[in-house]
Structure 1
């Protein structure tokens, strides 16, 4: 599809904080986890229906962005060449405005996820974050019907999903207040209070280059979005529980039903079907006794929820670790086993985090972080899959003053063996962004459990 004629640039500006960053805050040291995070962007877009809000939406969005950046001052700085710090020099954030010449309803129905990347400010939504680039990109997209999309690309070197959602929530709250005042002075009920304390908790080290997330060439790699409705997940949950009695009741021996989460179900299903499809696409395995390729799943987990005491949600930066799921042979390919192992790994991870955060030294914690990073470093050489979930984050509650979004998406990604999970608009299902080799994807789509429990959008 030729899309050049469909998009028209309206404006492109650099938004600086409304108040200069004080001299004592001019250098922001990142944490070790920030330092080891892939040098990419996190791209999120929110779609809003037509409404009768102010006709000065873009001007007010620019003004509120300028004001919110005074609290999130590292987001408008410059990443150092070695990646150890951000120079908070008020370089600014990129703000662009475009028009897409089609109704939003047609845009949302489009099954080509690359086409939907038009709402982002760069052709490659995730992209690689370089020191000379802006750390934050915002784009306001207008559709013919009057609907609009707001997209954000934040450097993953300084923020994770939790940090981005907190920023969007604070930005939206301020913008809504400005809209109510018709662009005048906004009244805060509570000022944003992000904490930039990562380096004090987990200091960076020298000489650790950050890996890039995207390949120079995306040839042979396909990204597609699959949706799992609440109804289909209920059916899948019943199937999994029937497959293994241990998943019917809690391990305490009581008759209390064991809770299986949406994320556990979908993660297990995607991993199982991807491993099966990869085996079918591999000629070397045909007729062999191995049947599948030994594979690992690295599931991203939010560290803030795992520490004792818990880290505050407003601690900015990358605070994540991994849960590790392994499959080595055909006998381990039951879906119930994958769900069970994910639950087991989650409990063990909580215990490990208690150990590392209860009186451990920063060196001990740094060692654990580096070990996790080394596991991820080999994923490009082995059959290692990565799964990250945005489920549970209140993206559908983010109201900039013109209502709540009717849909939220992540930009398409073209690093293979990656799954990203998002809430569906109804809040009871999951939308999964799946990236696989083209020959594997065609087999993956036809796996019985994928075709039965999901729809391709």
Structure 2
């Protein structure tokens, strides 16, 4: 299978998938672990949604036998991936009936593809004056269950009676030997923290077999979430799930995702501006997310002619907030959606005021929500906030903006034998849902890459806003040292 695209300079980029296979666990899953009931936190995620991201590696300069395009290098990757799946055995299983919320841990495996990116070096692809990040779609795994990103799911399986794979990986090898590793994971089963744990476990297993590398501890994931947060009956689930609603694509709206970079100096500048008596030291996330929120609201108001009430939503990891804290490598969607109070004031928002709204939401979570994590109030608290978000989307009486921070997630530590990633990215181009932003660590220390998804008309307004551009860089070159 071949796909073609043109870079900014007109270079012909050809992506050729040369192999696709199923990687299964190296050891069979014991019979007493065959049925894995997901937790009620997983139940609250709209089913059938896959999330992709990329890690980029420069060409290895030592030991050609470990190179990703060598036979021995491929064998190392696949063998160690198989060992990793033995530890993360639910990922190799199948959800045979979405309504039963049980993973059949039948060792069917995950999808692993290898593709050649011909006629193009990775640095040439990324370092042009305006990198064509929308071309990253052609580096996705090609199987239908994986490429239907964000597709609605009516509870039925596809033509494969075993159900679709829950994880797919594509190894895209550029002509220079550099790699763009694409990972697509099923979000209603695991969250970003879990997939980071999976990749870092894979890394640890690879490095443990290499005498020239530092040997990190190979850990075992924790599977206590289903017992701590036992799943609920279908009749008690929120309406947006039981009615098969979810988030529907916006009608007659063209939605785009763009990469917007905040240099380390810009982030520190925003933190200084965002400081107030209530929040004297805003975090990098608070300052950057609220700055984007402020200007997205303004862009929406400019298109509409008036500004709807708005709120910020963000998933908060509750592993470390448990008493005692859950292990970092706990598997599942162990998070809760937090919502700020609505911003209803006419006229331009002040950054410090938005940061205060965000901090108050975090304080409510800490003071009122966290003490009940162990009790029955948790389900009601989590489902209520999630229903409120979906209610705002469906009734369109408020403009919610969802922010996902993948900074400091450990994805930039995943060494698969070629060194740590030079860059970690989301995916640009057309999208299905608007007002969603993913924040990643940038290619340079201290930078933040924001992958912002908006109505195209609002994006055009945002990209011409001089106050916004005083801190934000629109898709600058990705400079990778080779």
Matches of 2:420 and 2:198, distance apart in 1: 16
SS in structure 2 of the partner of residue 380 of structure 1: helix
Matches of 1:172 and 1:9, distance apart in 2: 24
Matches of 1:198 and 1:354, distance apart in 2: 16
Find the partner of 2:256 among 218, 222, 229. 222
**Cα offset, 1:135, TM superposition:** 0.3
Q: Which residue of 1 aligns with 2:104?
A: 87
Q: Which range is displaced more, 213-222 or 262-271?
A: 213-222
Does the Cα contact within 8 Å between 1:307 and 1:353 map onto a contact in 2? Answer: no
Q: Which residue of 2 aligns with 1:452?
A: 470
Does the Cα contact within 8 Å between 1:225 and 1:434 map onto a contact in 2? Answer: yes
Structure 2 runs not aligned, ≥5 long: 6-11, 158-162, 476-482
Matches of 2:178 and 2:206, distance apart in 1: 18
1:293 aligns with 2:283: no
Find the partner of 2:24 among 11, 16, 29. 16
Instruction: Provide, for residues 313-348 of structure 1, a one-character-per-residue CA deviation record: whole Å limited to 9, x for no partner.
Output: 111000111222221012671111011221222122
Does the Cα contact within 8 Å between 1:395 and 1:408 map onto a contact in 2? Answer: yes
Q: Which residue of 1 aligns with 2:375?
A: 361
**Cα offset, 1:233, TM superposition:** 1.4
Map 1:70-219 → 2, pairs under 5 A: 70-81=86-97, 82=99, 84-101=101-118, 102-109=120-127, 111-122=131-142, 124=147, 126-128=149-151, 131=157, 132-180=163-211, 190-207=217-234, 208=237, 209=241, 215=249
Matches of 2:148 and 2:415, distance apart in 1: 23
Gap change, CA 1:354 and 1:240, over 3 Å in 2: closer
Map 1:28-43 → 2, pairs under 5 A: 28-39=36-47, 40-43=49-52
TM normalised by structure 2 equals: 0.83
SS in structure 1 of the partner of residue 359 of structure 2: helix
RMSD of aligned C-alpha atoms? 2.5
Structure 1 runs not aligned, ≥5 long: 248-257, 286-291
Matches of 1:246 and 1:332, distance apart in 2: 20
Find the partner of 1:316 among 307, 315, 331. 331
Matches of 1:113 and 1:7, distance apart in 2: 15
**Cα offset, 1:111, TM superposition:** 3.5
Instruction: Provide, for residues 93-114 of structure 1, a one-character-per-residue CA deviation record: whole Å limited to 9, x for no partner.
Output: 0000001121101222454432
Matches of 1:308 and 1:404, distance apart in 2: 33
Does the Cα contact within 8 Å between 1:271 and 1:385 map onto a contact in 2? Answer: yes
Does the Cα contact within 8 Å between 1:158 and 1:318 map onto a contact in 2? Answer: yes
Instruction: Provide, for residues 18-49 of structure 1, a one-character-per-residue CA deviation record: whole Å limited to 9, x for no partner.
Output: 11111100000001110111331221211000
Q: Which residue of 2 aligns with 1:333?
A: 349
SS in structure 2 of the partner of residue 330 of structure 1: coil
Matches of 1:422 and 1:352, distance apart in 2: 29
Does the Cα contact within 8 Å between 1:95 and 1:139 map onto a contact in 2? Answer: yes
Instruction: Provide, for residues 218-264 of structure 1, a one-character-per-residue CA deviation record: whole Å limited to 9, x for no partner.
Output: 951111010001011122223333xx4554xxxxxxxxxx3221110
Instruction: Provide, for residues 130-165 of structure 1, a one-character-per-residue CA deviation record: whole Å limited to 9, x for no partner.
Output: 642100101111001111122211111111111111
1:439 aligns with 2:453: no
Q: Which residue of 2 aligns with 1:267?
A: 289
Gap change, CA 1:444 and 1:187, over 3 Å in 2: closer
